[in-house]
Structure 1
Amino acid sequence: MLDIRQGEAVHRRGFVIGKLNKIVNLVTMLEASVETRVRFAETDAMGVTYHGNYLPWFEMARVAMLDKIGYPYRELEKDGFLLPVLE
């Protein structure tokens, strides 16, 4: 759980997550986009992509979003945070 105090994100255990200060406004929606080519193997005979193939693309966008705010996923994990993907 995060708490915002004087522009800093503070974890419930009390330590300041200074890197999250780069997010100017946590209330607004962050956006990131990634262009990728849909491979032939990811489509059926009609050229439609199976819905299960979207998850890796969502992961690519999530990594791009973290890079955009200056807090790469590897650094996030190093600081003890994980972003699990749930259905």
Structure 2
Amino acid sequence: MTIKSDKWIRRMAETTGMIEPFEPGQIRERDGHKIISYGTSSYGYDIRCAPEFKVFTNIHSTVVDPKNFDEKSFVDFHGDSCIIPPN
């Protein structure tokens, strides 16, 4: 699958609900304050993340099958921001 254009992303989001909530334009500030941008841009769609994260960790030192991840290899995290560790 190739990278999709902003027109394709906009059409799919508006007709199929592919992105919810969907922002048809790029938002760069709110209430006069600069924020991390989100919405449709010429490079595609900048997303916003929910406050729930699943962070991969290999604390059990197991072999990782990318098509069949073991749920024990993830840590559930809830918060306004999440620093994703390397690897």
Whether TM exceeds 0.5 here: the answer is: no
Name the TM tier (shorter chain).
Answer: under 0.3
TM-score, normalised to structure 1's length?
0.23
Question: Which structure has greater strand proportion?
Answer: 2
TM-score, normalised to structure 2's length?
0.23
Question: Which structure has greater helix proportion?
Answer: 1
